[in-house]
């Protein structure tokens, strides 16, 4: 049976959230599926390319681990999408302006707080 878009990556991330590190073979076994080794490997390589998993060479293969705690992944994904939009073209100010304009008042307060904390760190050299 064919999985929906993103389901394999989601399943792999959930497994990595429960285990410190896993090889492609480990992931395939834990998924309890008949997916090809190359299919699982491709999913892990894509997650690595997205910055969601780190990999380390062990012998002739890699082991994979989450780049951040599992519960932080949605925020990391959102930040990466925003970074991608900012890096995609010349209109960085337009992207930021549209983002800020769409914030609700509570989110705007949070953003102002975060920016002021960053300003304090910059002034204090931290």
The answer to whether residue 106 scores a pLDDT higher than 80 is yes
Tell me the C-alpha distance between 108 and 93, whole Å. Answer: 17
pLDDT for the residue 66: 95
CA 51, 53, 54, 58 torsion: positive or negative?
Answer: negative
- Listed residue (82, 72, 85, 56) closest to 17, CA to CA: 72
Res 60: pLDDT: 92
Question: Does position 126 have pLDDT exceeding 80, yes or no?
Answer: no
Average pLDDT of 98-113?
90
Residue 115 predicted with pLDDT over 60? yes
Is the whole model's pTM more than 0.85, yes or no? no
Is the pLDDT confidence value at 64 over 60? yes
How many CB atoms sit inside 10 A of residue 24's CB?
21
């Amino acid at each position: 049976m064919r999985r929906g878009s993103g389901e394999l990556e989601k399943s792999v991330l959930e497994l990595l959230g429960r285990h410190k590190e896993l090889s492609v073979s480990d992931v395939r076994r834990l998924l309890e599926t008949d997916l090809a080794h190359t299919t699982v490997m491709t999913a892990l390589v894509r997650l690595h390319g997205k910055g969601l998993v780190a990999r380390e060479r062990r012998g002739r293969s890699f082991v994979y681990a989450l780049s951040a705690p599992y519960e932080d992944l949605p925020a990391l994904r959102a930040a990466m999408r925003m970074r991608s939009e900012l890096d995609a073209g010349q209109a960085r100010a337009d992207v930021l302006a549209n983002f800020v304009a769409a914030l609700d008042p509570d989110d705007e307060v949070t953003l102002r707080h975060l920016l002021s904390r960053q300003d304090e760190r910059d002034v204090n050299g931290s």
